[in-house]
Amino acid sequence: MICSLDSFVFKSGAVDLTSLKRNIKYGFESLKLMNAHDDWQATDKYSQTITLAGVLIKKSNSALDALEDIAKNKKIVTLSFDDGRALSVLILEINTDRSSFLKNGLFLKQDFEVSLGVVYGSI
């Protein structure tokens, strides 16, 4: 297991996770001053987003359905890693890109990206 999001498990060989991106945004606003440098003011603490991305090749066409069901609940879930770290997150967005279609309409390749907003914790 690489990590799990609530009951959905990302692991090598099943749901192939290819990248994990972390973005931390620190809240600042700038004020333009005449004949001077900009003045920067902190407006809030910070916010974190995590993006999980991967590729499914020759997997079930319904491999991500359970993940979509978790997201539809719009509740805080736990993102846990195999080393014991855990975060409370919200699933903000799921993007999929399907390709290599067969004659019957099924697809062989599916790229996916899951965007998470971190409610509590840090990696």
Report the predicted TM-score, pTM, of the whole model to 2 decimal places: 0.79
Q: State residue 14's pLDDT score.
A: 64
Task: For residue range 93-117, list pLDDT tens digits in order.
Answer: 999 998 888 888 888 888 999 999 9
CA 76, CA 19: separation in Å to the nearest integer? 22
**Domains of the chain with bracketed CATH:** 3-120 (2.40.30.200)
Task: For residue range 20-37, list pLDDT tens digits in order.
Answer: 899 999 988 888 887 878
Q: State residue 13's pLDDT score.
A: 66
Q: State residue 116's pLDDT score.
A: 96
Task: For residue range 41-83, list pLDDT tens digits in order.
Answer: 888 888 899 999 988 888 888 888 999 999 999 999 999 988 8
CA 122, CA 37: separation in Å to the nearest integer? 34
CA 81, CA 101: separation in Å to the nearest integer? 33
* Whether 63 contacts 110, CB under 8 Å: yes
Rounded to an integer, what is the distance from CA 82 to the centroid of its chain?
A: 17
DSSP 86-105: EEEEEEEEEEEEEEEE-TTS
